[in-house]
Structure 1
Amino acid sequence: MADIDKIDDVIHGRLRMGIMAYLANAETATFSELKDKLEASQGNLSVQIRKLEEAEYLTVDKRIVGRKPLTTCRITKKGRDAFAAYLKALTNVLGLPPKD
């Protein structure tokens, strides 16, 4: 089961995997959107986003809009490639047939 070594530990956490899966489809999302969709606490979501940002899997843009902070996350090419590799490795570990 050599493919288990290919599982990316940065992505493999439940919330980080959820963030990556959401961004893989949406490409960008606000902090509030991710918090609602993933039913995450603000503190935990912040920590997990920071870990993905440190790995350069996503970028974070923080700005003020109408006197309110707006945080937007965007998946990077490196993040998209890492997520695809993660899904492939997970599929192999589970013994599922590969998707075309």
Structure 2
Amino acid sequence: MAVEPRFDDAIHAPNRLRLCGLLRHVGDAEFAALRDTLDLSDANLSKTVKALVDLGYVRVRKEASLSRTDLRRTTTVCLTAAGRRAFDGHVAALQQLAAGVVG
């Protein structure tokens, strides 16, 4: 299926772009792994994730951790189908821009 190039201002913000790019290739990831990989604070990653959740681009799942003895839950983040389409379209628009194609 062809991707429609579409520049997306909401994804273009650096932390959002990095998060979407990472999730696009891994499917889903735990919050802590995302935080460490992207070298963001908990607060900054939370804000970034919330913005993408509000757009319908990512989904968050909280579950009891099988590896923990306390009541804390793990948080897993994944791209939604809409998020994948938006990210792929944004990347295609950036590729057009880099190639000198104005659309």
**TM-score range with shorter-chain normalisation?**
0.7 to 0.9
Q: Which has the higher contact order (CA 8 A, sep 6+)?
A: 2
Distance in 2 separating the partners of 1:96 and 1:29: 35
2:3 matched residue in structure 1: none
Counterpart code for 1:55: L
Aligned length: 92
TM-score by length of 2: 0.83
2:54 matched residue in structure 1: 54
Distance in 2 separating the partners of 1:78 and 1:31: 20
TM-score by length of 1: 0.85
Larger radius of gyration: 2
Q: Which runs of 5+ in 2 are unaligned?
A: 1-5
- Off by >4 Å, runs of 4+ in structure 1: none
Match of 1:76 among 73, 76, 80: 80
Match of 1:91 among 87, 90, 95: 95
What is the SS of the residue equivalent to 2:56? coil
Q: Which runs of 5+ in 1 are unaligned?
A: 1-5
Quick check: which one's helix share is greater? 1
Aligned-residue CA RMSD (Å): 1.5
